[in-house]
Amino acid sequence: MRAPGFAMAPFLAVAACGPAPDEASRGDWPDRSPRVELVEELRADLSRPRAESDGGGTALVEEISGPAVAGRPGTWRIVYRAGPLGVAVGGAVYLQVSPFWGWSTPQTEREAALGYTTIGTDAGGVDLSAETLDRQLLAIHVRGRALAEGELIEMTYGAGPAGALADRYAERDSRFWVAVDGDGDGVRKLIPASPAVDVLPGPASRLLLHLPSTARPGESVDLVAALVDAAGNGWPEFRGTLELRLPAGIAVADGRDRPGGDGATRKVVSLALTEEDRGRLVVPLRLSADSGGVVRVEGRADGAGAPSGFEAESNPLSVSPAGRRILWADLQNHSGLSDGSGTPYDLLRYAREIAALDAAAVTDHDHWGMRFMDREPEIWQRTLAAVDRLHDPGRFVALAGYEWTNWVAGHRHVVFFEPTAEAAAGLLLSSIDESHDEAHELWAGLDGVRALTFAHHSAGDPIATDWSQEPPPGLEPVTEIVSVHGSNESADSPGLVVRGAVEGNYVRDALDRGYRLGFVGSSDGHDGHPGLAHLASPSGGVAAILADEATREAIHEALRARRTYATNGPRIVVRASYAGWPVGAEIPADAAAAGEVGPIAGVPESTLVVRAAVPGEIARIEVISRQNADGAGAIAGEASCPDGESECGLTVVLPGFRPGGYLYLRVVQTDGGAAWTSPFFFE
């Protein structure tokens, strides 16, 4: 690995940039656009009376064209049977095909177009008329006479030659939501059990190889090999072989490796992928006692339907006798219980078995989606049960949470770290509840609970964070700076959030106001693919958590200490320290100025040390800093790594920082992948 070039901007010039914030200006934030009218609409809907006939009846679905396949056309027949009170003249039955993510909108006007739907009834004298009201929403109005108990309305969705496209994301229990306005007053209610189908993955189109990011010499590690379809859906049908090329110092634990074409530097192992494997294998590898540095594994999958095969290289694995373990986590995900895909159980299973994460959280909305979790406690209970079922301390940490979906103060997800998820059963604090609709009320309600809150998409759409309420460090020590929405770090960030960004409302602006926030990424995923949302979106997000154990307690402690960094998807390895202090540390300014060495031994005085290894190629490593409380953070220097390098490092002696200063790093790949370390803060 060659040493990079490094250019450092003058720190005094950086400190002179921007106005000097003070206590009086902390609440003087840029104008945002709180969506007060949306909150009023949600509350008004809760207060609207429902007639006894609203939501009456049952429905079944028949898969006319066979099982649904992600992104493929099909035909489905939905049969609604009227309940005891029927449907009055002027009432309506509504078909809401899942509005998340890609089902065709049902329509009755164009037979040759996608989503064409026919309507019929066995009730003589009942006239039906249909209209498409919104995306994926069809209303069927009852005319002539009332629909009586037991009479049917039949809807054939995808009845034309084009059919109707299924959801592009594979999932179980994808609903055809049926609602009924029984008395014709314009207010509808979902029937008790809308019918559902399972959406299967498409054909395999990509191979993923995941290793842990850190290990000790002589340890055994698992390589997770998984084939996915074009949208990132796991467990596609596949039968063939998986060939792995192992670097020197690594062997398959069961001894099935054999010498490869380049002799001692590489070994090859060939493994069968059976139909029962569903495109996934876990391969135990053993590191030699003298192994070290960064290693990667190459692989190729061949099989029926894959004439050219699928090739992949794993993420980098840093082998060293020292340093904390890097745990990978996705702390914000939505299932089909709100506005995402799949069940909470399947979402966590994907995180563990396809994305090879160490930890994941289910954070469905408190009050958003087709059904509202704050109104139906059994929805919250399904999440808690799935979390406790899949939690496996030491191997996989499953976490319960929810999103406090506040359209005035900004969205925050709440994640619990109690010994059992069931302990959080009574702690769903709704953003629509006037007793918990402000951030300080949310934090007060969580006082004494082992939980953390995370602001996200804080600079822009769908709603920017109200930073005027300073987060308490015990409950919100870190913030989600990157997700499928893009980066909210700063206006000069790679992969910037593209919608509705509010200038002056970025996370760096919060740091400049004196807030001490570490950084995490998480997907804010709705596609059922925790840890891999970037496969089907321009951006994603994962959190790197520096902890020695994969337990709820250790992750909670590391997050509170801000020993974290964020990436927009790729498993980038970053090791950084300043004068021996780890990322996220609050460094006494007099100690830093005097060059005192922190808790990491062997780091020179007043020296920033960074080492990075990425899955792609490193474009640059950027230093973002503010020397003291009288300026604004900015890019203070940049290391240009040699062309084509996937590993890079820099060691720079920096001038002393004063109280109110901070320093963090960005590692940027040539393909746009990026990592952001939590800041070092100077007291």
Extents of the domains making up the chain: 1-19+572-683, 58-200, 206-319, 324-569
Contact 194, 59 (CB under 8 A): yes
Helices (H) then strands (E): counts for the chain = 8, 46
Q: What is the pLDDT of residue 255?
A: 62
Res 558: pLDDT = 98
Band (pLDDT 50/70/90 cuts) for residue 600 is low
Question: What percentage of the chain exceeds 70 in pLDDT?
Answer: 92
Give the mean model confidence (pLDDT) for residues 343-365.
98
Q: How far is CA 445 from CA 250, 317, 450, 474, 554, in A?
A: 50, 41, 12, 13, 23
Q: Tell me the backbone φ, ψ of residue 251, rounded to 5 degrees.
A: -135, 155
Could you give the CA distance from residue 45 to residue 59 in angstroms, rounded to a whole number? 24
Round to whole Å and give the CA distance between 209 and 244: 10
pTM recorded for the entire structure: 0.93
Helix (H, G, I), strand (E, B) or coil at 539: coil
Whether 593 shows a pLDDT value over 70: the answer reads no
- pLDDT at position 485 over 90: yes
Check whether 515 has a pLDDT greater than 50.
yes
Whether residue 591 is predicted with pLDDT greater than 80 in this model: the reply is no
Query: Does the pLDDT at position 594 exceed 50?
Result: yes
Of the listed ranges 99-103, 259-263, 410-414, 443-447, the one predicted with least confidence: 259-263
Res 25 pLDDT > 50: no
Return the axis-axis angle of helices 344-353 and 377-390, rounded to nearest 10°.
30
Q: Which CATH number fits domain 58-200: 2.120.10.30, 3.30.2350.10, 2.60.40.2110, 3.20.80.10?
A: 2.60.40.2110
Mean pLDDT throughout 237-249? 95
Secondary structure of residue 78 in the 3-state scheme: strand
Report d(CA 101, CA 104) in Å as an integer: 9
pLDDT of residue 652: 87
Question: pLDDT tier at 552 (50, 70, 90 boundaries)?
Answer: very high
The CATH number, out of the four listed (1.10.10.10, 1.10.287.130, 2.60.40.830, 3.40.190.10), of the domain defined by the range 206-319:
2.60.40.830
Mean pLDDT of the chain: 91
Report the range of poorest mean pLDDT among 194-208, 235-249, 260-274, 621-635: 260-274
pLDDT recorded at residue 595: 53
At residue 643 the predicted structure's pLDDT band, cuts being 50, 70 and 90, is confident
Class of the 324-569 domain? alpha beta
pLDDT (0 to 100) of residue 260: 53
The better pLDDT of the pair 135, 128 is held by 128
Task: Tell me what the mean pLDDT of segment 293-299 comes to.
Answer: 96
Q: Which of 29-38, 312-321, 449-458 has the lowest mean pLDDT?
A: 29-38
Cis? peptide before 462, omega within 30° of 0: yes
pLDDT range class, residue 306, cuts 50, 70, 90: confident
Per-residue pLDDT for 442 more than 60?
Answer: yes
Across the range 204-229, mean pLDDT stands at 97
Tokens of 596: 């005192």
Tell me what the mean pLDDT of segment 497-505 comes to.
Answer: 87
- The confidence score (pLDDT) of residue 311 equals 97
Q: Residue 646: which of 326, 300, 293, 325 has the closest Cα?
A: 293
Closest listed residue to residue 332, CA positions, set 211, 449, 429, 453: 453
Residue 137, judged by CB atoms within 10 A of its CB (0-12, 13-18, 19+), counts as middle
Least confident of 38-42, 53-57, 305-309: 305-309
Instruction: Say if residue 106's pLDDT is above 50.
Output: yes
Is residue 159 pLDDT above 90, yes or no? yes
Kindly tell me if the per-residue pLDDT of 86 is higher than 90: yes
* The dihedral formed by the CA atoms of 376, 377, 378 and 380, expressed in degrees to the nearest 10: 110
Write the CATH number of the domain with boundaries 1-19+572-683: 2.60.40
pLDDT per position as a tens digit, 169-191 = 999 999 999 999 999 999 999 99
CA gap 202, 183 in Å, rounded: 43
Question: What is the rounded distance in angstroms from the CA atom of residue 404 to the CA atom of residue 368?
Answer: 10
Residue identified by tokens 């009834």 is 121
10, pLDDT greater than 50: no
Q: What is the pLDDT of residues 576-587, one digit of tens each?
A: 999 889 999 999
1-19+572-683 and 58-200 agree in CATH topology: yes
CA proximity to 31, closest of 409, 485, 504: 504
Round to the nearest angstrom and report the end-to-end CA distance of the chain.
35
Q: Which of 75-79, 263-267, 407-411 has the lowest mean pLDDT?
A: 263-267
Cβ 333 vs Cβ 529: under 8 Å = no
Contact (CB, 8 A) for 189 and 54: yes
pLDDT of residue 21: 31
Dihedral through CA 8, CA 13, CA 14, CA 15, nearest 10? Answer: 140
